[in-house]
Structure 1
Amino acid sequence: MAKPSKKGPVRTVLISCLQCKAPIFKYRKGGKGALVKCFIERIVEDYTTTACHCPGCGQEFARDTMIRGTPAYKIIGGKVHMK
């Protein structure tokens, strides 16, 4: 399978914690579907202090993984909100 493009999409979305509403990422998302994974190279601003944990409440919202040979965060369903 092909790797995701380096430049990526133009549209940015704000990803925040569903429980405490703290901002987590500003991310360049492609398509109009649900947020399933976040490629690390597409993250514009990172508000987290520890990887995959919310800066506000500390709950784990994703798992660190490799998707198509590229490092990414696999989002746990029902933990984040995308605006």
Structure 2
Amino acid sequence: MAKPNKKLPERSVDIICTKCKAMLFKYKKGGKGSLVKCFKERIVIDYTETPCECPSCGNVFARETLVRGTPAYKIIGGKVAMK
């Protein structure tokens, strides 16, 4: 499998917790589909203290995994939203 592109995409999105509306990431997203995974190298600003956990409500929103040999967060459906 091919690795993700080294050049970051143009589009920047805010990833927020659906439970408490707290800001989680500022992320460079490629494509126009829904958010399924977040590559760690594309996260511009990380607002979380512990990985995959909301800083304000403690909601677990993702799992750490390797996707195509690159570290990523696999998003749990319905736990986060994009702005």
TM class by shorter-chain length? over 0.9
**RMSD (Å) for aligned C-alpha atoms:** 0.5
Structure 2 distance, partners of 1:56, 1:7, is: 32
The percentage of aligned residue pairs carrying the same residue is 71
Query: Is 1:71 aligned with 2:71?
Result: yes
TM-score (norm 1): 0.98
Q: Secondary structure at the match of 2:41?
A: helix
TM-score (norm 2): 0.98
The number of aligned residues is: 83
Structure 1 alignment gaps of length 5 or more: none
Structure 2 distance, partners of 1:58, 1:6, is: 32
Aligned runs of 1:3-82 on 2, under 5 Å? 3-82=3-82
Deviation track 1:42-83 (CA, whole Å, cap 9, x = no partner) reads 000000000000011001000000000000000000000101
How far does residue 21 in structure 1 lie from its aligned partner after superposition? 0.2
Poorly superposed stretches of 4+, deviation over 2 Å? none
